[in-house]
Amino acid sequence: MLDVNVIDDPATALVAIDPVRSRLLSEIREPISAATLAQRVGMSRQKVNYHLRSLESHGLVEVAETKKWGGLTERQLVTTAASFVVSPGVLGPVAADPERELDRLSASYLIALAARAVREVGDLFRRAGEAGQHLATLSVDTVVRFRSAKDRAAFSRELTEEINRLVAKYHDDSAPGGRSHRLTLMAHPLPAPGTGTPNPETN
């Protein structure tokens, strides 16, 4: 089972975000039969089987094992990943694209950058898996609490200078065996606890 499966097919995305099927996906991270699942979610076995067939045909669930009970064969199904992310690429030409954003300090530009990361890394992750290879990535995630807007501006300036210094040190356009990597830095206020609004102390 994958840790994360990035869905980049529109038809599969529609199947995954259907409320009933999404709930079923959340219930089958461990192998389970259709009969047991139907009892757990309070639906008929026929309805559950219908939705499971759709999930299976789109690669969202798979058979983990089969058990024979008398003359019957019971299938135990499980999700193909612990969690799923829908790639912005399923939206086609209207997907967020940082190349179309002019204000690089805007929230919309940051969202477009994040969307591009999901799209690009998701595609690379899928290809690496198909080739049986490991995809090398680097992620840094931390929280910094600024005393003031002045300190935040100073931090941004110093961080930009340091990144530019490191890029200049290690970047080599002429390296015959080199490979380009995309480096994206993001910063945004944390939502206030229990809400979806920015924390006013970090504005």
Question: pLDDT (tens digit, 9 = 90+) per residue, 115-135?
Answer: 999 999 999 999 998 899 999
Report phi then psi at 10, rounded to 5.
-55, -40
Round the CA-based radius of gyration of the chain to a whole number and report it.
23
pTM for the model: 0.81
Pairing relationship of beta strands 2-7 and 81-86 according to DSSP bridges: parallel
Bridge partners of 79?
A: 61
Q: What is the pLDDT of residue 1?
A: 79
Report phi then psi at 21, rounded to 5.
-70, -35
Going by C-alpha positions, the residue among 123, 125, 120 that lies closest to residue 136 is 125
Q: What average pLDDT score do residues 5-18 get? A: 95
d(CA 43, CA 36): 10
Q: What domains, with CATH codes, occur in the chain?
A: 2-84 (1.10.10.10), 87-137 (no CATH), 140-170+182-203 (no CATH)
Longest CA span, the chain? 74
Could you read off the pLDDT of 39-92 as tens digits, one per residue?
999 999 999 999 999 999 999 999 999 988 777 888 999 999 999 999 999 999
